[in-house]
């Protein structure tokens, strides 16, 4: 019955011919593991297609939903973590396998006539794969993808003459936004995959036209072996190892969580993933007007070298020993890319909080002439950035006490020396950084300068005569009413966004550490509040803590969004409403909340509904594959013992 059905089909559509065409092929020199790279790349491509299509069941290509929809897939969908992980690691594996595939083909001299078209379609496939990596990263609309897209489209903007058009074309306008997501989405899921399928077909048909090239050693060419099943089995062995490896990577090293994209946040330092590092590192060499040479010249040179290889190297010779020029160029080429990748991997672009602050304005110095040492101290005061926290005239700021009139406070020189070198000696919770590295002479100059500040600060307007200027209580400076402790408003958008604790730590240092202490542990004094100190964030109140990261984040988000006034008569410090006042973006708040959760041992990106948890799933798949490999190995040994292996065909 099945046979008749197959016949019926075959009369109307040549199935048998297609199967014969794709499987019945003689491999010159017989099957080899070295030839499994192309099939492995094909498998990884199909895996990308499958896991990519599957992500579309959840993904929403819009700036306000893309990140959350990806995180939903990764944390709330059973085995969604694996679909996403296979796609993420599958891409990396694809690039590696293709890289080795190209190296193998080059070493074997398989790009030479008449196989130029196989080689050329492969070069175009590499270009398409790189474009897929670039467009795919942006779709997650996280910090990594957003900034990679921002930098990538800016690089397109440096192309001479048409750069401006290209940048706008890819962004869908002047700035990154909704149209950028829509464009990258269309390219990533329709245009580029369509082209890739076309190129894969061309690649395979071109391969079958002339068959495999076989070993370069003419003696080995005498023998041959069939593609099916000899080579196919070797291919599948490698593919099964690859799949288990990808499952392991997805389980043990999930794709990085960098938090929701935030165009306004200047504290994120973009650095490309490994696959573009060589280009990133090469770009460092070309600055200013030479920039297009790096951004356009290098990629063009690489492509030109690959495209022209079969036309520049036209001799028939395939033995590597007889092709010293080609092999040297190839080794230099691959070595250069590898070296640049390694250098890029080790470089740290630094965590800069936006552009460096410009030199401070000249300080309004006291009217009296300064002694030479006090003058040096004044310069030092400016260089060290003391003015950022300490005002030397007027009432001072919220960070450090005002130093106007410091010379009349009766401080001794030893007291000031200790205060400068080790502020915690005087006040355990002081947030002033210790300037222990200053020389005795420098500290002396600084003290001379401070002692010269004898002009009393002007009494603030409206203040009672004799009022002491110092740290103005934040409470009276706030413009918005702050709800009393325990009566916070509802959580905001940030509560449902999965942040990145590492980035949150940077933001925390910049915005929260002044009151909450460096790791949320210091007991910063809060005079006037009932509890006397700012509540700790590490070892947070039990009422706020929750094992479920979404609940925990929602619990603390109300405080961050709306602020909180501690209980007490006149608390000097209170939690400012950083959310409703737009002081921080919702994305930044999500990052900081992820850090606070991490301080309390809760992973904001924990998989809430894994289906099967990652590590058990990995162990299970290892066991299943190991069992099958062992079974097949035993069968193979039994066949060999019975002398069942056929001799290779000799032509």
Partner 1 sequence: MAEPPVVPAADSGRSRRRFLEAAAKVLAGLVAAVGAVPLAASVIGPIFRRPAAHFARVGRVDAFPLGEPVNPTFEYRTDDAYLHTIVLHDVWLVRRSATEVTVFSAVCPHLGCHYYWHAKARQFICPCHASVFSIEGRVLAGPSPRPLDTLPARIEEGELLVKWQRFELGMSRKVPL
Beta strands in 262-355 (DSSP E): none
Beta carbon of residue 398, minimum distance to partner 1 (angstroms, whole number): 5
**Cα separation values, 570 from 264, 467, 488, 527, 564, Å:** 35, 17, 19, 8, 13
Among 24, 266, 347, 487, binds partner 1 (CB under 8 A): 266
- Partners of 190 in the beta sheet? none
Taking the least distance from each CB to partner 1, the nearer of 236 and 510 is 510
Segment 168 to 197, residues that bind partner 1, using CB under 8 A: 168-169, 171-175, 177-179, 182
Among 264, 369, 436, 437, binds partner 1 (CB under 8 A): 264
Cβ neighbours, 10 Å, residue 569 = 8
Beta carbon of residue 430, minimum distance to partner 1 (angstroms, whole number): 16
Q: Find tokens 């175009």 and name the residue.
A: 124
Residue 463 in contact with partner 1, rule: CB under 8 A:
yes
Segment 99 to 158, residues that bind partner 1, using CB under 8 A: none
Residue 613: half-sphere exposure toward Cβ, Cα within 13 Å: 4
The SS3 call for residue 225 is strand
Q: Find tokens 């410090």 and name the residue.
A: 573
The SS3 call for residue 605 is coil
Residue 353 in contact with partner 1, rule: CB under 8 A:
yes
Among 103, 223, 334, 510, binds partner 1 (CB under 8 A): 510
H-helix or E-strand spanning residue 83: helix 80-107
Residue 258 in contact with partner 1, rule: CB under 8 A:
no
Binding part of the chain for partner 1, among 210-218, 281-289, 347-355, 560-568 by CB under 8 A, reads 347-355
Beta carbon of residue 143, minimum distance to partner 1 (angstroms, whole number): 17
Taking the least distance from each CB to partner 1, the nearer of 61 and 214 is 61
Cis peptide before 114 (omega within 30 of 0): yes
**Cα separation values, 428 from 269, 522, 574, 624, Å:** 33, 9, 20, 58
Beta carbon of residue 477, minimum distance to partner 1 (angstroms, whole number): 5
Segment 554 to 593, residues that bind partner 1, using CB under 8 A: 576, 580-583
- For residue 190, give every residue at least 6 positions away whose Cβ sits within 8 Å of its Cβ, in sequence order, or none: none
| Residue 357 φ/ψ, nearest 5 degrees | -65, 140
Among 361, 440, 547, 646, binds partner 1 (CB under 8 A): 361
Per-residue binding letters, 396-435, with partner 1 (x by CB under 8 A): -xxxx-----------------------------------
Beta carbon of residue 500, minimum distance to partner 1 (angstroms, whole number): 20
Segment 382 to 401, residues that bind partner 1, using CB under 8 A: 385, 387-389, 391, 393-395, 397-400
Beta carbon of residue 275, minimum distance to partner 1 (angstroms, whole number): 27
Beta strands at 649-650 and 223-226: parallel, antiparallel or unpaired = antiparallel
**Cα separation values, 236 from 23, 229, 515, 645, Å:** 14, 10, 59, 20
Binding residues for partner 1 (CB under 8 A): 62-64, 168-169, 171-175, 177-179, 182, 264, 266, 353-355, 357-358, 360-361, 363-364, 385, 387-389, 391, 393-395, 397-400, 460-463, 472, 474, 476-480, 510-511, 576, 580-583
């Amino acid at each position: 019955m099945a046979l008749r059905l197959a016949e019926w089909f075959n009369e109307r559509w040549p199935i048998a011919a297609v199967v014969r065409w794709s499987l019945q092929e003689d491999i010159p020199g017989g099957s080899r593991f070295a030839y499994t790279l192309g099939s492995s790349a094909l498998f990884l491509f199909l895996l990308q297609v499958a896991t990519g299509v599957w992500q579309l069941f959840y993904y929403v290509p819009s700036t306000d939903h893309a990140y959350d929809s990806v995180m939903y897939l990764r944390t709330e969908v059973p085995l969604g973590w694996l679909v996403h992980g296979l796609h993420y690691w599958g891409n990396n594996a694809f690039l590696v396998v293709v890289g080795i595939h190209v190296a193998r083909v080059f070493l074997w001299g398989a790009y030479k006539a008449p196989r130029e078209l196989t080689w050329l379609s492969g070069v175009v496939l590499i270009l398409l794969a790189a474009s897929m990596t670039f467009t795919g990263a942006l779709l997650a609309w996280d910090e990594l993808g957003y900034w990679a897209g921002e930098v990538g489209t800016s690089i397109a903007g440096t192309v001479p003459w048409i750069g401006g058009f290209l940048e706008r074309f890819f962004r869908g306008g002047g700035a990154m936004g909704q149209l950028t997501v829509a464009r990258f989405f269309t390219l990533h899921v329709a245009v580029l995959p369509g082209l890739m399928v076309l190129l894969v077909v061309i690649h395979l048909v071109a391969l079958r036209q002339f068959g495999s090239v076989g070993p370069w050693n003419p003696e080995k060419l005498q023998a041959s072996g069939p593609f099916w099943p000899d080579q196919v089995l070797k291919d599948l062995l490698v593919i099964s190892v690859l799949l288990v490896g990808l499952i392991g990577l997805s389980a043990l090293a999930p794709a990085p969580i960098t938090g929701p994209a935030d165009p306004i946040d200047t504290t994120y330092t973009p650095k490309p993933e490994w696959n573009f590092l060589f280009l990133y590192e090469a770009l460092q060499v070309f600055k200013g007007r030479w920039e297009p040479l790096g951004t356009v010249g290098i990629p063009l040179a690489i492509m030109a070298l690959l495209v022209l290889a079969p036309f520049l190297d036209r001799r028939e010779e395939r033995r590597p020993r007889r092709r010293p020029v080609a092999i040297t160029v190839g080794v230099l080429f691959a070595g250069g890319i590898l070296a640049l990748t390694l250098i890029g991997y080790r470089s740290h672009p630094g965590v800069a909080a936006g552009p460096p602050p410009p030199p401070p304005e000249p300080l309004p110095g006291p009217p009296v002439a300064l002694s030479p040492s006090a003058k040096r101290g004044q310069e030092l005061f400016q260089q060290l950035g003391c003015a950022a926290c300490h005002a030397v005239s007027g009432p001072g700021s919220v960070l450090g006490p005002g130093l106007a009139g410091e010379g009349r406070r009766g401080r001794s020189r030893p007291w000031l020396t200790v205060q400068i070198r080790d502020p915690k000696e005087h006040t355990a919770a002081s947030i002033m950084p210790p300037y222990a590295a200053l020389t005795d002479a420098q500290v002396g100059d600084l003290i001379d300068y401070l002692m010269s500040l004898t002009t009393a600060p002007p009494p603030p307007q409206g203040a009672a005569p004799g009022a002491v200027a110092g740290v103005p209580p934040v409470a009276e400076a706030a413009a918005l009413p702050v709800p009393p402790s325990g009566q916070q408003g509802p959580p905001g958008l940030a509560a449902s966004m999965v942040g990145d604790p590492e980035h949150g730590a940077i933001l925390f240092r910049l915005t929260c550490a002044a009151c909450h202490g460096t790791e949320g542990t210091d007991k910063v004094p809060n005079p006037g509040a009932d509890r006397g100190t700012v509540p700790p964030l590490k070892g947070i109140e039990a009422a706020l803590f929750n094992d479920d990261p979404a609940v925990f984040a929602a619990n603390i988000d109300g405080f961050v969004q709306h602020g909180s006034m501690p209980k007490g008569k006149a608390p000097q410090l209170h939690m400012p409403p950083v959310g409703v006042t737009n002081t921080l973006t919702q994305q930044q708040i999500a990052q900081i909340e992820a850090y606070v959760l991490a301080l309390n041992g809760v992973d904001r990106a924990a998989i809430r509904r894994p289906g099967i948890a990652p590590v058990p799933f990995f162990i299970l798949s290892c066991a299943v594959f190991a069992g099958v490999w062992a079974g097949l190995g035993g069968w193979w040994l039994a066949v060999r013992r019975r002398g069942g292996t056929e001799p290779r065909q000799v032509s």
